Amino acid sequence: MRYFLFFSYNGKSYHGWQKQKKSITVQEKIEESLSVLLKEIIEVVGAGRTDAGVHAKQMVAHFDVDEIIDNPKKLVFKLNQFLSNDISIKSIKSVKNNAHARFDAISRTYKYHINKEKDVFLDQYGYYINYSLNKKKIIEAIKIIVSNNDFKCFVKSKTDVTNYICDVLDAKWLESDQEYIFEITANRFLRNMVRSIVGTLIDIGSGKTSLNDFVEIIKSKDRSMAGYSVPARGLFLTKIDYPKKIFI
């Protein structure tokens, strides 16, 4: 039987989602806990990767188990007792045997938080800047992002990725008294893409980069032309959507 696991985590203490030999990751901790509680070796496949220090308000992974889980809510309770407080299991749902947490995802949404003022409580979940940003210019830049589908200029040069095409479904720049929030939804994301976009938007909002420059940056497909990559701590994976037909 195949199941989808819905959960959240604080990425501060982890070297990202994906299991690695010499680093502690979220995938490793969840696999260990499921294997103990279900009394068989369990491997989980995530909906995607998050880098070291990135958080997830909603992450999804699938796993297979030999026996039907009679009481998913009870297993959720046990997992939350077993796992540390920085990983929270929300639900377990049965799906069709060919359902895939990564490949069946319709869209993913990320939010990046930028603090307007220094705050000792918000600092670990946002990036503080001590200057104001031009909202009008940033919104114009976001329109350019939405109309584009090649994001090679925002991806690290040393990568094994060959496909840089992403369909951005929506992007917003939100503002409150305390913070700016960049929200973006797409069918897929490339490594470091959101953090590089945010760094470039900050350059535009501060007047360092013009909108004409931004168009040329995208056309260049050159990572060195785009802005800096903002810190991981302000980035949250907030939502992953799936077609209803894969659930039982």
Q: What is the mean pLDDT of residues 87-99?
A: 98
- Which residues are annotated as catalytic? 51
Strands 55-64 and 2-9, by their bridges, are: antiparallel
pLDDT at 122 over 90: no
- Write out pLDDT tens, residues 1-55: 999 999 999 999 999 999 998 899 999 999 999 999 999 999 999 999 999 999 9
For residue 160, pLDDT beyond 80: no
Looking at residue 11, the DSSP 8-state letter turns out to be G
Residue 8: per-residue pLDDT: 98
> For position 117, what pLDDT does the model report?
93
DSSP-derived secondary structure for 58-99: EEEEEEE-SS--S-HHHHHHHHHHHS-TTEEEEEEEEE-TT-
Task: Read off the pLDDT of each residue in 102-108 and give the average, rounded to a whole number.
Answer: 98
pLDDT score of 62 more than 90: yes
Residue 201: both structure tokens together:
């938007």
